C-alpha cells in the first residue's frame, strides 16, 4: 500500500539506485532527461528535494565499477549529474558522503584520450568543485594538475573539452587553498600566457567563452593577496589592460571586458588617501573628559535598510562583500513593550514649563495689541524690514503635468486677500527665551546690535563685514568686493570697507530678485552671528543671493552603457601610462601653503564657508581633478556631503571630477541621480537657482583604503573607499560656480527664514513663539517654534479649546548632510503660517512644537552625520548627555514634560533624507509586524496593538504625490533602539512616532515617477504632510460639528484638485492591505557583479550544445547505446500495459501515472 501511495518520481529514483538491469537504468535516465529538459530550474529543485542527487551518485558508483565502463549508461548519467548537481546547494557534501570524488577523478584520468567522455567527466568535476570543501579535496588529489594537462599547450583542437576543463579549473580556484597551490606552482603565469594566446588567435571572436573562462580563473586566483602580488609581478595589469583596449569596439565582447575590468580594479595597488590623516581637518575640544571619537553607529536615515559600513570579513577576498542576515529585529516582546524610567530626576522636568507658555497664557494682552504694535513699530524703524511675501496655499504648488510647473509665486504676485497679513516686523530678532543660560538675553541684545550694524548705511566702527564668494570680470574688483578681509589687511582704513559695502549694496540694487521668503540682508545679518570652528569670513553666493526653483522638473539621468568600466579603465591608465598625470595639489584645507597658485589651465577651489565641505583638490590632468571630502568634526569617517566653489573655468569643456573618499556601499548616483550646481553669472542674469547637473555619473569601489578602529573588536579593520565621478560643462567662461551633493540649506538660511515668516504671519490668527531650546556645543542657538491658532476670543470656552489642542512634535536635520529634510521642513513651516483655509483649520486642531534643526553645529561646519562631539545624534536618544548632546537632551526633556502632564504628542515625526532609496516614505513602529517579519509566533490574545500607526502613511499615500506607502516600514530593529522614533514610541508611548525619509533622487511611482525631486517638490511634501495631519485628526479624534463642516467643504475641494492630477498615477489607496510591505529591491553595480545564475545557464547551454553531437560522435566510436527513449518513447511508456509477472521492467500503472501527478503538483 505504501508503494502505491509513493509518487512516481520516488519509484523511479528508488529503482535507479537498486536496479542492475541496463535497460531499466537507461529507460529511467531517459525519462528523467526528458522531464528535466521540459521544465525550468524549479523542476530540477523538485527532483533534488526527492533525493535525486543521491540516486544519481549511487548509480554513478555502480556504473563506474563495471569493467569495461558502460559508456551508454555513463554519458546520460554524467549529463544528469551536471544539470542536477549545479542547482543542489548541498551537492558537494553529498559527493563526499557518497565517496564519489575519487570515482570522478578516476573516470577523468581514465578518459584523457577520449574527449567526448572526458568532457562529460569535466562537467561533473566542475559541479563538485563548486563546494569549497569538495573543491579543496579535489585539489589535494591532483585535480588542477590534471586540468592543466587538458588546457595546455594552446590548441584549437577539441575546444569543447578545453572549455569544460577551464570551467572546472575556475570552480576549483574558488577555494583559497587551491588558489595558493596554483600560485606556488606557477600556474598564474601559465594562465596569463594562455589567455594571451587565445586573445591573439581568436580573431573572429568564436571562442569568447574560453577567453572569459580563463579570466574567471584569474579573477578567483587574485582573490588572495598572494595572487594579486604575483599578478602584478607578472605584468598582469599591462596584459589585461592592453587586451581590453582591443575589445572595446565590439559589444559582443562585453563579458570579457567586464570580467577583465573587475580584475584590474581589484588588483590595482592599494593606497592610502593622499592626506596627512584621515581625521577631520577640524577639531573641537569637548567638555570634561569626553572622548573625541566614540564608536560611531549607523543612522536612522539611510541605515533603516542599509549597512552603514562595508563588512568585509575575509580581507584576502575583497571581492566578497558579505551581507549580514536579517537578524536585527527585536523579538523580545518585553523589550518592545518596555517603558524605561526617566533618564533624569523628575523635578528637573519643571523647567520645561517655560517652553510651553501657550498652556498658561491668559491672552489679556490682546486688548492692547494696537498700542503694543505701534510701540514696536517705533522701536524697529531703523532695523531692516523683510520683504513682504505671498505665503502660498496648499493648492498653489500643484503640478499640472510631470514636466512643467505652474508659473512661480513671484510671477503670480501677491494675493489681494493677503494684504492684511503684511504687518511690520514686531521685533527684528524676537527676544528668545532660553531656560538654560541666564546670559542669553544679553547675548541676544549684543547679536541684535551686530545685526543692526550690518545693514545700516556704513558704520566705520563695526568690527568686520562678511565677504562674498562670488564672480565679476575684473579680478581686482572681484577681490575688492568679495574678499573684504584681504583688502582690510592691505588697507585697514574704515573708508576701504565702507566703499566695498557700497559696492555690494549697488550690486543688490542692480540685480534685485524678489525670491519668496528670502532676504540677502537678513541672511548676511544672521550669518554674522554664526559660530563656526574655522571662523568663516565668507558667504557662499547661493546662500546669500537665494534660490528660486526652476520652472521644470528634470528627469533622471540615463546611464550610458559601459560607463563604469570606462571610468575604471581610465583610473588604471594612470598606473599603466602615467605620462600625462599632473598630480598637482590646487587646494588643501590642511595646509593652504601646499595649494598651487592659480594657473591659466587650472581651476580654483574654495570651501571655507557655512556648510562647505571640500578638503583637498588634486589636478590629475588638464581637465580632471581628484577631490577629497572632509570627515565630520572630531571623526575620521562619514564622507558623503560636499559643497564647494569652483572658478576660472573654460566654457563648453567637459571637466571630470572624482570624489575619491565616499564611504557608502551604494548610491542613487548609479540610478540617475545628479548633483546640483549654482552659477553666479546665471543668477545675476535673473536665474538664481540650483540646477541638477553632471553627465557620465557613476559610483564604484576604488583602490584607496584606510584603517580605523574595529567596532568592539579591539583590532583594526580596513575600510575601502568608493569613487563618485561626474563630468560637467560649465555654461560661462570665468564664471563662479558651486557644486553640492544636494540643495544646500544652511543654519543662517533657516534663521533668516524664521525671521521672515514671523514678520509675514498674521498675528491676529497665527500664534507664533520662537524660543531657544538650548545652546549647542559650538555656542549656536537651537530654535524651538510653537505654532497654533490664536484663540477666537478671551472667553473661557475658546481659551479652553486653545489649551486642550493635541500636540504635534516635529524635528528635522539631526543629520547635517540631509539637507532635503530642511526643504521639507521649510514647506511645513510656510504652510502652517499661511492664510490657506486648510492651514487655518489645522492650526485650530493642533499645537505644533517644532525643532527645525537639531544639529546646527554639524550643518554649519559641513558635517554629514555627526555633531561636534563626533556622535551621531540620532543614536543618543536613549541616554543623551546634557553636555555632549544638548539638543537631544532637551528635546527629549520637553517630550518627557509633555508626557508627564498628560499631553504626549499625537504625532511625532523626525524629518530625514535617504541616499539609497527612492520616494518619500515613513518608518514607524509596530510590535506585531516586527514579530511577524522575524518569524515569531504571535499570540493575538496576548499581543494587542492599535493599528492606527498605519493611518497617516495611508493618508499621505493618497494626498502627497511623492509619498509611497509600499516603501514604508514599521519594524523595530535592535540597532535602532536609540533612535528618536523608537525611543519616543517606547518611552513616551506615542503610537504615531515616525521618521519621514525623503529621497535625494527621484520617485518610482505616481506623478513624479522618473523625475528628480527639486526643492519645490520637497516643500510640497512638507505642506502635504500638514494636510495629512488634518485628515488624521478628523479620522482619529472627536471634532465639533462646525469643524467637521469646515473640513468637509475644504477637503472636498482639495480632493477634487488633487485627484484630477493623481488619479491615474495612484499606486495604492487608503484601503490597502495591512500586511507588512515589501522592501524595495536595489540592484547597484558598485564593484562588478558576481556570476550566480549566469554560471548555471552557461553550463546548461554547454551541455545542450554537446547533446546535438553526442549520438553522431558515439556512433563514430562504435558504441552501442542500447535502447534510447525519446519523448515519443516516454509517451509510449505511460500507455503501455502492465508488466508480466517476475519481470524486472519498470513498474507502470498507478505508480507511473503518479509520476505525472508528482510533477504536476511540483512548481514548474
- Known catalytic residue at 365: no
DSSP state of 227: H
Is residue 532 classed as helix, strand or coil in its secondary structure? Answer: coil
Pairing of β 616-621 and β 584-588: antiparallel
CB 769 within 8 A of CB 357: yes
DSSP-assigned states of every residue in 818-830: -HHHHHHHHHHHH
CB 107 within 8 A of CB 121: yes
Helix residue spans in 1075-1149 (DSSP H):
1093-1116, 1127-1135
Which H or E element spans position 145? helix 143-151
Contacts of 267 (CB under 8 A, 6+ apart): 222, 228, 231, 232, 236, 237
Burial 525-559 (b: 16+ CB within 10 A, else e): bbbbbbbbbbebbbbbbbbbbbbbbbeebbebbeb
Sort 667 into a burial class: Cβ within 10 Å, 0-12 / 13-18 / 19+: buried
- Residue 1109 gets the label, from left (phi > 0), alpha (psi -120 to 50) or beta, of alpha
Give the CA angle between residues 916, 917, 923 to the nearest 5°.
115
Peptide bond into 256 cis (omega under 30): no
- Rounded-to-integer distance, Cα 975 and Cα 772, Å: 31
Taking alpha carbons only, the member of 116, 386, 281 closest to residue 636 is 281
Q: How many helices, marked H, and strands, marked E, lie in the chain?
A: 43, 20
- Rounded-to-integer distance, Cα 938 and Cα 2, Å: 38
For residue 1159, the cross-strand partners are none
What is the widest separation between alpha-carbon atoms in the chain? 121
- Rounded-to-integer distance, Cα 112 and Cα 442, Å: 94
- Rounded-to-integer distance, Cα 1084 and Cα 971, Å: 24
Catalytic residue among 310, 997, 1098, 1102: 997
CB 874 within 8 A of CB 814: yes
CB 736 within 8 A of CB 682: no
Q: What Rg do the C-alpha atoms of the chain give, in angstroms? A: 35
Question: In angstroms, how far is CA 532 from the centroid of its own chain?
Answer: 29
Question: In angstroms, how far is CA 708 from the centroid of its own chain?
Answer: 22
Which residues are the active-site residues? 997
Amino acid at each position: 500500500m505504501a508503494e502505491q501511495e509513493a509518487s512516481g518520481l520516488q519509484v523511479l529514483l528508488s529503482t535507479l539506485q537498486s536496479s542492475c538491469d541496463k535497460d531499466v537504468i537507461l529507460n529511467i535516465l531517459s525519462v528523467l532527461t526528458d522531464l528535466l529538459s521540459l521544465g525550468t530550474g524549479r523542476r530540477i529543485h523538485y527532483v533534488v528535494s526527492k533525493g535525486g542527487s543521491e540516486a544519481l551518485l549511487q548509480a554513478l558508483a555502480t556504473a563506474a565499477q563495471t569493467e569495461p565502463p558502460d559508456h551508454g549508461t555513463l554519458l546520460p548519467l554524467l549529463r544528469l549529474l551536471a544539470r542536477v548537481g549545479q542547482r543542489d546547494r548541498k551537492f558537494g557534501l553529498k559527493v563526499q558522503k557518497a565517496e564519489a570524488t575519487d570515482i570522478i577523478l578516476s573516470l577523468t584520468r581514465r578518459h584523457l584520450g577520449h574527449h567526448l567522455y572526458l568532457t562529460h567527466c569535466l562537467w561533473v568535476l566542475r559541479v563538485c568543485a563548486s563546494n569549497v570543501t569538495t573543491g579543496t579535496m579535489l585539489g589535494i588529489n591532483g585535480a588542477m594538475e590534471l586540468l592543466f594537462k587538458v588546457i595546455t599547450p594552446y590548441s584549437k583542437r577539441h575546444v569543447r573539452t578545453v572549455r569544460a576543463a577551464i570551467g572546472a579549473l575556475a570552480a576549483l580556484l574558488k577555494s583559497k587553498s587551491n588558489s595558493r597551490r596554483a600560485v606556488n606552482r606557477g600556474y598564474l603565469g601559465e594562465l596569463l600566457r594562455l589567455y594571451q594566446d587565445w586573445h591573439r588567435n581568436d580573431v573572429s571572436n568564436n571562442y569568447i567563452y574560453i577567453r572569459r573562462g580563463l579570466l574567471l580563473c584569474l579573477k578567483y586566483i587574485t582573490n588572495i593577496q598572494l595572487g594579486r602580488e604575483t599578478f602584478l609581478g607578472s605584468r598582469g595589469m599591462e596584459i589585461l589592460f592592453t587586451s581590453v583596449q582591443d575589445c572595446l569596439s565590439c559589444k559582443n565582447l562585453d563579458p570579457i571586458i567586464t570580467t577583465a575590468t573587475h580584475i584590474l580594479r581589484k588588483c590595482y595597488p592599494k593606497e592610502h588617501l593622499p592626506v596627512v590623516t584621515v581625521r577631520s581637518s577640524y577639531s573641537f575640544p569637548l567638555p570634561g573628559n569626553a572622548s573625541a571619537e566614540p564608536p560611531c553607529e549607523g543612522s536612522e536615515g539611510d541605515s533603516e535598510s542599509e549597512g552603514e559600513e562595508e563588512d568585509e570579513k575575509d580581507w584576502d577576498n575583497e571581492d566578497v562583500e558579505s551581507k549580514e542576515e536579517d537578524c536585527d529585529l527585536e523579538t523580545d516582546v518585553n523589550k518592545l513593550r518596555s517603558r524605561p524610567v526617566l533618564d533624569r530626576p523628575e523635578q528637573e522636568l519643571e523647567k520645561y514649563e517655560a517652553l510651553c507658555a501657550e498652556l498658561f497664557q491668559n491672552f489679556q494682552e490682546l486688548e492692547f495689541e494696537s498700542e503694543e504694535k505701534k510701540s514696536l513699530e517705533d522701536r524697529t524703524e531703523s532695523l531692516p524690514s523683510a520683504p513682504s511675501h505671498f505665503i502660498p496655499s496648499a493648492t498653489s504648488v500643484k503640478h499640472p503635468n510631470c514636466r512643467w510647473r505652474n508659473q512661480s509665486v513671484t510671477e503670480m504676485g501677491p494675493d489681494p486677500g493677503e494684504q492684511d497679513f503684511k504687518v511690520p516686523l514686531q521685533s527684528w530678532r524676537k527676544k528668545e527665551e532660553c531656560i538654560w543660560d541666564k546670559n542669553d538675553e544679553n547675548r541676544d541684545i549684543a547679536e541684535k546690535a551686530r545685526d543692526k550694524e550690518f545693514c545700516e548705511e556704513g558704520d566705520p566702527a563695526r568690527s568686520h563685514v562678511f565677504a562674498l564668494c562670488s564672480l565679476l570680470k575684473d579680478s581686482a574688483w572681484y577681490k575688492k568686493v568679495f574678499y573684504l578681509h584681504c583688502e582690510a589687511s592691505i588697507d585697514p582704513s574704515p573708508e576701504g570697507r565702507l566703499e566695498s559695502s557700497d559696492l555690494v549694496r549697488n550690486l543688490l540694487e542692480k540685480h534685485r530678485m524678489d525670491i519668496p521668503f528670502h532676504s540677502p540682508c537678513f541672511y548676511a545679518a544672521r550669518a554674522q552671528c554664526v559660530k563656526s570652528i574655522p571662523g568663516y569670513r565668507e558667504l557662499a553666493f547661493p546662500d546669500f543671493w537665494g534660490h528660486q526653483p526652476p520652472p521644470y522638473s528634470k528627469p533622471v539621468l540615463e546611464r550610458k552603457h559601459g560607463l563604469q568600466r570606462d571610468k575604471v579603465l581610465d583610473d588604471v591608465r594612470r598606473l599603466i601610462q602615467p605620462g600625462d598625470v599632473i598630480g598637482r595639489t590646487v587646494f588643501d584645507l590642511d595646509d593652504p601653503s601646499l595649494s598651487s597658485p592659480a594657473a591659466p589651465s587650472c581651476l580654483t577651489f574654495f570651501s571655507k564657508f557655512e556648510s562647505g565641505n571640500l578638503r583637498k583638490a588634486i589636478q590629475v590632468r588638464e581637465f580632471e581633478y581628484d577631490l577629497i571630502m572632509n570627515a565630520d568634526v572630531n571623526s575620521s569617517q562619514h564622507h558623503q556631503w560636499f559643497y564647494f566653489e569652483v572658478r576660472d573655468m573654460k566654457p563648453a569643456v567637459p571637466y571630470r571630477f572624482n570624489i575619491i573618499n565616499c564611504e557608502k556601499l551604494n548610491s542613487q548616483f548609479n540610478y540617475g541621480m545628479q548633483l546640483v550646481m549654482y552659477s553666479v553669472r546665471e543668477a545675476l542674469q535673473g536665474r538664481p537657482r540650483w540646477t541638477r547637473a553632471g553627465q557620465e555619473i557613476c559610483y564604484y569601489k576604488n583602490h584607496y583604503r584606510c584603517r580605523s578602529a574595529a567596532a568592539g573588536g579591539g583590532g583594526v579593520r580596513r575600510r575601502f573607499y568608493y569613487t563618485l565621478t561626474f563630468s560637467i560643462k560649465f555654461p560661462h567662461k570665468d564664471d563662479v560656480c558651486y557644486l553640492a551633493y544636494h540643495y544646500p540649506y544652511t543654519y543662517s538660511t533657516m534663521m533668516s527664514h524664521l525671521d521672515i515668516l514671523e514678520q509675514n504671519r498674521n498675528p491676529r490668527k497665527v500664534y507664533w513663539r520662537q524660543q531657544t531650546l538650548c545652546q549647542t556645543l559650538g555656542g549656536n542657538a537651537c530654535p524651538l517654534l510653537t505654532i497654533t491658532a490664536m484663540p477666537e476670543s478671551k472667553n473661557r470656552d475658546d481659551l479652553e479649546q486653545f489649551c486642550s489642542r493635541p500636540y504635534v512634535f516635529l524635528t528635522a536635520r539631526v543629520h547635517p548632510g540631509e539637507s532635503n529634510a530642511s526643504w521639507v521642513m521649510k514647506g511645513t513651516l510656510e504652510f502652517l503660517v499661511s492664510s490657506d483655509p486648510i492651514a487655518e483649520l489645522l492650526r485650530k486642531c493642533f499645537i505644533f512644537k517644532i525643532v527645525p534643526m537639531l544639529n546646527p553645529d554639524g550643518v554649519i561646519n559641513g558635517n554629514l552625520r555627526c555633531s561636534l562631539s563626533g556622535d551621531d545624534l540620532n543614536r543618543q536618544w536613549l541616554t543623551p548627555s546634557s553636555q555632549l548632546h544638548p539638543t537631544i537632551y532637551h528635546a527629549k526633556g520637553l517630550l518627557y514634560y509633555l508626557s508627564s502632564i498628560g499631553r504626549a504628542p499625537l504625532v511625532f515625526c523626525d524629518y530625514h533624507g535617504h541616499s539609497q532609496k527612492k520616494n518619500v516614505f515613513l518608518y514607524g513602529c509596530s510590535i506585531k509586524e516586527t514579530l511577524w517579519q522575524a518569524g515569531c509566533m504571535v499570540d493575538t490574545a496576548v499581543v494587542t496593538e492599535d493599528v492606527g500607526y498605519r493611518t497617516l502613511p495611508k493618508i499621505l499615500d493618497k494626498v502627497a504625490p511623492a509619498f509611497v506607502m509600499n516603501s514604508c516600514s514599521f519594524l523595530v530593529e535592535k540597532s535602532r533602539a536609540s533612535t528618536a522614533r523608537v525611543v519616543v514610541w517606547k518611552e513616551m508611548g506615542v503610537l504615531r512616532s515616525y521618521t519621514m525619509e525623503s529621497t535625494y533622487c527621484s520617485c518610482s511611482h505616481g506623478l513624479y515617477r522618473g523625475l528628480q525631486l527639486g526643492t519645490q517638490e520637497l516643500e510640497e511634501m512638507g505642506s502635504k504632510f500638514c494636510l495629512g495631519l488634518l485628515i488624521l485628526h478628523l479620522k482619529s479624534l472627536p471634532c465639533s460639528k462646525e469643524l467637521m463642516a469646515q473640513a468637509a467643504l475644504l477637503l472636498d475641494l482639495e480632493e477634487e484638485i488633487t485627484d484630477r492630477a493623481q488619479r491615474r498615477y495612484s499606486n495604492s489607496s487608503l484601503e490597502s492591505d495591512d500586511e507588512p510591505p515589501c522592501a524595495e529591491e536595489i540592484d547597484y553595480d558598485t564593484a562588478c557583479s558576481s556570476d550566480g545564475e549566469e554560471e548555471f545557464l552557461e553550463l546548461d547551454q554547454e551541455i545542450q550544445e554537446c547533446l546535438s553531437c553526442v549520438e553522431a560522435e558515439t556512433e563514430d566510436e562504435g558504441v552501442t547505446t542500447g535502447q534510447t527513449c525519446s519523448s515519443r518513447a516516454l509517451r509510449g511508456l505511460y500507455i503501455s500495459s502492465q508488466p508480466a509477472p517476475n519481470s524486472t521492467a519498470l513498474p507502470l500503472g498507478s505508480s507511473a501515472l503518479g509520476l505525472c501527478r508528482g510533477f504536476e503538483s511540483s512548481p514548474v
